C-alpha cells in the first residue's frame, strides 16, 4: 500500500501529507533526538530507554541483531507506535505533539516495502506524485534509469530488490529532509546493494538530507555511514561518529616490566583491561594518544596499538555477547 493515506500502515514508503505547524521547530540542529525512549510489549522490553542523537546531514547507521528493537524505534520516530516512556524530537518537532508535522518532511522505506502490486511502475509513480505538494520529476526519472527499472512492468512482477529500489524512489520523490530506511538492502544481490548504497551516499547525503538507516549488515554501514549506533536487546551499546570510532577505539597490547599501575582500568579513555600472557590488553575508547603517552612513560618492553574492525568493536562493546549481524 502506498502511504500518505494511512498513518498506521507501516509497510509503505511515504512522506505524510501534513503541513509543518511551526517554523521554529524546523531549525533544530539534530534531525533526531530521543531521551529515555522506551517501548514495552507485555513483558518484552523492545526498546529500553534510548538516548540517541542523529545530526542533520548525517548518514546514520542504526545497527543491531535481529530483535534488537530497531524497527520498534523507527515506528516510534514515525509516530506509528506510542512510546511507553521517554520522548523524542524529529526535525525539531516533539513526537508527542508534532509527529504529523515531522512526517511531512520524512521519507520512509519500510522493511519489505509492500507496494500496490497491480499497478505498473509508471502508474504507482504518478499515483504517489499526486499525494504530495512537492515532487522532483527529474530526480525520479534519473533514479529509474540508474536502477534500470522497467516503467511498464507491474509492481508485483518486480524482484524483491527492484521493489526496494522503487520504494526508495517513491520515498525520495517528495524530497524529504529525513530519509528513514528500515533494512533497505535485505533481499538485494551484492551489486544492487552497492548501487543502492552509493546512490544514497552520492545523491541524498550530498543534497544535505539526513539518512537514518537500520541494518544488520556491517559492511553496508562501513561503506556509507558517517555515524553509527549499536542497539542490542533494546539498549544502546555504542553511538559515535565513524571517524572517531576508527581513530580512537583500539586495543593496546603492552608488557610492563614493573607491572601495571593499579588505576590503569580507571585512566581516562580506558574502557577495560585484561591480562594477556605476560602483558595486558587494554581496550581504549577515547584519548588514545594520551593513554599511549602515559604507557610509554612507564617504559614498556613492548607496546602495540591494534586496529579493530567495526565487527570487532561491536562484539567487544556487546560484552562478548554473541551478535549475529550478517
Ligand atoms: P529485525 O532485525 O529482526 O527486524 P529489530 O531490531 O527491528 O529486528 P524489533 O522488530 O523492533 O527488532 O523487535 C524488538 C523486540 O520487540 C522483539 O523481541 C520483538 O519480538 C518484539 N516485538 C516487536 N513488535 C512487537 C509486537 N507488535 N508485539 C509483541 N512484541 C513485539
How much is the pLDDT for 42? 93
Asked if the structure places residue 20 within a domain, the reply is no
- State if residue 68 touches ligand 1 by the CB under 6 angstroms criterion: yes
CA distance 29 to 92: 8
Nearest atom of ligand 1 to the alpha carbon of 47: 14
CA of 120 to the centre of ligand 1 (A): 32
Please give the distance of CA 111 from its chain centroid, rounded to a whole number: 13
If asked whether residues 263 and 182 sit together in one domain, one would say: no
Residue nearest to atom 10 of ligand 1 (CA): 71
If asked whether residues 45 and 183 sit together in one domain, one would say: yes
Asked if the structure places residue 212 within a domain, the reply is yes
| 37, 47, 48, 71, best to mutate for ligand 1 pocket (most atoms within 8 Å of CB) | 71
Nearest atom of ligand 1 to the alpha carbon of 72: 11
Using alpha carbons, list the distances in angstroms from residue 40 to 45, 49, 86, 181: 4, 10, 12, 23
CA of 220 to the centre of ligand 1 (A): 22
Asked if the structure places residue 1 within a domain, the reply is no
CA of 86 to the centre of ligand 1 (A): 18
Nearest atom of ligand 1 to the alpha carbon of 74: 11
Task: Give the global pTM.
Answer: 0.82
If asked whether residues 261 and 127 sit together in one domain, one would say: no
If asked whether residues 153 and 301 sit together in one domain, one would say: no
If asked whether residues 137 and 45 sit together in one domain, one would say: yes
Local mean pLDDT, 10-residue blocks, the chain (326 residues): 33 34 57 96 95 94 90 93 94 84 86 79 93 91 89 89 88 92 82 79 82 87 89 90 89 90 92 89 91 94 91 74 49
Asked if the structure places residue 119 within a domain, the reply is yes
If asked whether residues 236 and 254 sit together in one domain, one would say: no
- State if residue 66 touches ligand 1 by the CB under 6 angstroms criterion: yes
Asked if the structure places residue 5 within a domain, the reply is no
Q: Sheet holding 44-55: strands in order across?
A: 44-55, 30-41, 85-90, 93-94
Please give the grid coordinates belonging to residue 215: 541494518
How much is the pLDDT for 2? 38
Last residue of a domain, one of 220, 240, 260: 240
| HEC string for 46-66 | EEEEEEEEEECCCEEEEECCC
Residue nearest to atom 26 of ligand 1 (CA): 41
- State if residue 242 touches ligand 1 by the CB under 6 angstroms criterion: no
If asked whether residues 231 and 258 sit together in one domain, one would say: no
Residue nearest to atom 19 of ligand 1 (CA): 67
How much is the pLDDT for 3? 38
**Could you tell me the residue range of the domain that residue 168 belongs to?**
25-240
At 45, which CATH number? Answer: 3.40.50.300
How much is the pLDDT for 184? 82
If asked whether residues 87 and 221 sit together in one domain, one would say: yes
Amino acid at each position: 500500500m502506498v502511504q500518505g493515506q494511512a498513518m498506521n500502515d507501516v509497510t509503505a514508503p511515504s512522506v505524510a501529507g501534513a503541513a509543518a505547524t511551526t517554523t521554529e521547530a524546523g531549525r533544530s540542529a539534530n534531525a533526531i533526538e530521543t531521551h529515555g525512549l522506551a517501548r514495552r510489549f507485555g513483558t518484552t522490553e523492545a526498546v529500553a530507554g534510548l538516548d540517541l542523537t542523529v545530526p542533520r546531514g548525517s548518514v546514520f547507521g542504526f545497527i543491531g541483531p535481529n530483535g534488537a528493537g530497531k524497527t520498534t524505534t523507527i515506528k516510534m520516530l514515525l509516530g506509528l507506535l506510542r512510546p511507553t516512556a521517554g520522548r523524542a524530537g524529529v526535525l525539531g518537532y516533539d513526537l508527542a505533539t508534532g509527529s504529523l508535522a515531522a512526517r511531512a518532511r520524512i521519507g520512509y522505506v519500510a522493511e519489505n516495502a509492500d507496494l500496490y502490486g497491480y499497478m505498473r511502475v509508471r502508474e504507482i509513480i504518478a499515483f504517489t506524485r499526486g499525494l504530495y505538494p512537492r515532487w522532483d520529476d527529474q530526480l525520479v526519472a534519473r533514479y529509474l534509469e540508474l536502477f534500470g527499472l522497467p516503467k511498464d512492468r507491474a509492481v508485483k512482477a518486480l524482484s524483491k530488490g527492484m521493489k526496494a529500489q522503487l520504494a526508495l524512489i517513491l520515498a525520495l520523490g517528495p524530497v524529504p529532509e529525513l530519509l528513514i530506511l528500515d533494512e533497505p538492502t535485505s533481499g538485494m544481490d551484492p551489486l544492487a546493494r552497492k548501487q543502492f548504497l552509493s546512490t544514497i551516499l552520492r545523491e541524498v547525503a550530498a543534497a544535505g538530507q539526513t539518512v537514518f538507516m537500520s541494518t544488520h549488515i556491517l559492511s553496508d554501514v562501513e561503506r556509507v555511514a558517517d555515524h553509527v549506533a549499536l542497539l542490542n536487546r533494546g539498549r544502546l551499546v555504542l553511538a559515535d561518529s565513524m571517524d572517531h570510532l576508527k581513530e580512537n577505539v583500539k586495543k593496546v597490547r603492552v608488557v610492563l616490566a614493573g607491572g601495571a599501575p593499579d588505576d590503569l582500568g580507571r585512566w581516562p579513555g580506558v574502557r577495560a583491561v585484561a591480562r594477556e600472557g605476560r602483558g595486558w590488553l587494554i581496550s581504549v575508547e577515547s584519548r588514545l594518544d594520551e593513554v599511549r603517552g602515559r604507557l610509554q612513560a612507564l617504559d614498556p618492553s613492548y607496546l602495540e596499538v591494534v586496529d579493530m574492525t567495526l565487527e570487532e568493536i561491536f562484539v567487544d562493546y556487546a560484552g562478548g555477547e554473541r551478535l549475529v549481524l550478517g
